[in-house]
């Protein structure tokens, strides 16, 4: 697949930070599989990439290409059958508070705890804080950051989907993980809330410059949220290319450069599929 190699090589020159700094996360030739009674499913095949401090690193690919599986691997819930994942140089073996995950589902909060309670529970149980007072202070700082300061004593069932996702983001960020893992966190939101949440996430990032790996299958979302985008092929997921996107925001949507990048990414995702279709025998 020389086209794939060319695209990856082209992108390799666009990460100036890469040469100077050590990666926070190094995913090195990772194959992840699921074993069921009847099947062995290869979800990702020899995937490699590096994430650097303050990257907004987006993993983009079609449904079933192994994006969530990769995040599960990074989180330490799944072990590679080939290759290695290293966080700050240490091989990932188990889950740990140095990696926090935000999921797509709205029901990821503890329903019997308030907004404040959800965050302090994570801080105390994740070993980040020793006392309730310390946990509340940190929790409040992040509740404010996600603009929920009037809702700290509210229970999850009284919050909208977007508000629940803000709590999940605040809870993950309060742990100050080395890398924040976000698996399509805005996918279940309506278009307006989704856009607002993307903007808020970028503002938060401006504020604290955390390192985030953000999974999506929306090209537009990838270009808005990402500083770098890893493009994956359909099942089993392999790396097709990596591109820079740090210059684009909501203000650019529809603009010439934005559309050109979207088009380029679209072509990279669908290039092989189009070729396959063209070579299929024609039935009449
Ligand atoms: N628990 C599991 N057991 C067996 N196979 C699984 C399991 N979870 C995922 N898979 C398979 O692994 C492959 C990758 O799945 P994964 O959920 O990582 O894809 P994805 O890129 O996140 O897709 P989506 O965009 O739909 O969320 C798919 O073929 C899927 O069927
Ligand atoms: Mg998924």
Looking at the structure, do residues 93 and 13 belong to the same domain, yes or no?
yes
Task: Indicate the pTM of the whole model.
Answer: 0.88
Q: Is the distance from the beta carbon of residue 40 to the nearest atom of ligand 1 less than 6 Å?
A: no
pLDDT digits (tens, 9 = 90+) for 208-252: 999 999 999 999 999 999 999 999 999 899 999 999 987 777 777
Q: Kindly write down the DSSP assignment for every residue of 18-87, as one continuous string.
A: HHHS--SEEEEEEEEEEE-SS-EEEEEEEEEEEE-TT-EEEEE--TTSSHHHHHHHHHTSS--SEEEEEE
Q: Is the distance from the beta carbon of residue 227 to the nearest atom of ligand 1 less than 6 Å?
A: no
Distance CA 243, CA 19 (A): 16
Looking at the structure, do residues 56 and 189 belong to the same domain, yes or no?
yes
What is the 242 CA–ligand 1 centroid distance (Å)? Answer: 22
Range of the domain at 171: 111-176
Q: Is residue 284 part of a domain?
A: no
Q: How far is CA 262 from CA 23, 25, 50, 244, 277, in A?
A: 27, 26, 23, 12, 22
- The residue nearest atom 25 of ligand 1, judged by CA position, is 63
What is the 64 CA–ligand 1 centroid distance (Å)? Answer: 5
Looking at the structure, do residues 209 and 267 belong to the same domain, yes or no?
yes
- Above 50 in pLDDT, residue 272? yes
Considering every ligand atom shown, identify the ligand nearest to the alpha carbon of residue 43 and give its number.
Answer: 1
pLDDT at 245: 85
Looking at the structure, do residues 121 and 241 belong to the same domain, yes or no?
no
* Ligand 1 pocket mutation pick from 31, 33, 61, 68 by most atoms within 8 angstroms of CB: 68
Q: Is residue 212 part of a domain?
A: yes
Looking at the structure, do residues 200 and 242 belong to the same domain, yes or no?
yes
Which atom of ligand 1 is nearest the CA belonging to 184?
27
Looking at the structure, do residues 115 and 135 belong to the same domain, yes or no?
yes
144 closest CA partner among 121, 173, 123: 173
Domain end point (choices 176, 192, 220): 176
111 is written with which tokens?
Answer: 């329903």
Q: Is the distance from the beta carbon of residue 282 to the nearest atom of ligand 1 less than 6 Å?
A: no
User: What is the β-pairing status of strands 99-102 and 179-183?
Assistant: parallel
Q: Is residue 79 part of a domain?
A: yes
Considering every ligand atom shown, identify the ligand nearest to the alpha carbon of residue 64 and give its number.
Answer: 1
- Above 50 in pLDDT, residue 274? no
pLDDT at 270: 82
Token look-up 């194959």 returns 31
pLDDT digits (tens, 9 = 90+) for 94-150: 999 999 999 999 899 999 999 999 999 999 999 999 999 999 999 999 999 999 999
Q: Cβ(84)–Cβ(223) under 8 Å?
A: no
- The residue nearest atom 24 of ligand 1, judged by CA position, is 63
What is the 261 CA–ligand 2 centroid distance (Å)? Answer: 23
């Amino acid at each position: 697949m020389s086209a794939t190699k060319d695209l990856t090589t082209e992108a390799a020159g666009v990460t100036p930070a890469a040469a100077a700094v050590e990666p926070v996360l190094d995913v090195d030739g990772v194959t992840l599989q699921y074993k069921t009674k009847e099947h062995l499913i290869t979800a990702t095949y020899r995937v490699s990439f590096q994430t650097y401090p303050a990257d907004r690193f987006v993993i983009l690919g079609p449904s079933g290409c192994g994006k969530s599986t990769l995040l599960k691997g990074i989180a330490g819930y799944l072990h590679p059958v080939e290759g290695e994942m290293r966080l700050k140089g240490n091989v990932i073996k188990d889950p740990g508070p140095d990696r926090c995950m935000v999921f797509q589902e709205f029901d990821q909060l503890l329903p019997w705890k308030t907004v404040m309670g959800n965050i302090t529970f994570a801080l105390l149980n994740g070993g980040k804080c020793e006392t309730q007072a310390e946990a509340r202070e940190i929790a409040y700082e992040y509740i404010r950051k996600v603009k929920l300061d009037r809702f700290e004593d509210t229970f999850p069932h009284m919050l909208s989907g977007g508000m629940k996702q803000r709590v999940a983001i605040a809870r993950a960020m309060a742990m100050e993980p080395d890398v924040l893992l976000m698996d399509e966190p805005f996918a279940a939101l309506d278009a307006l809330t989704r856009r607002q949440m993307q903007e808020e996430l970028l503002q938060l990032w401006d504020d604290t410059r955390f390192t985030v790996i953000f999974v999506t299958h929306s090209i537009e979302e990838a270009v808005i949220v990402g500083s770098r985008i890893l493009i994956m092929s359909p099942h089993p997921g392999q790396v097709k290319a990596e591109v820079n996107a740090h210059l684009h925001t909501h203000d650019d949507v529809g603009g010439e450069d934005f559309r050109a990048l979207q088009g380029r990414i679209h072509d990279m995702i669908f290039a092989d599929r189009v070729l396959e279709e063209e070579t299929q025998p024609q039935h009449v």
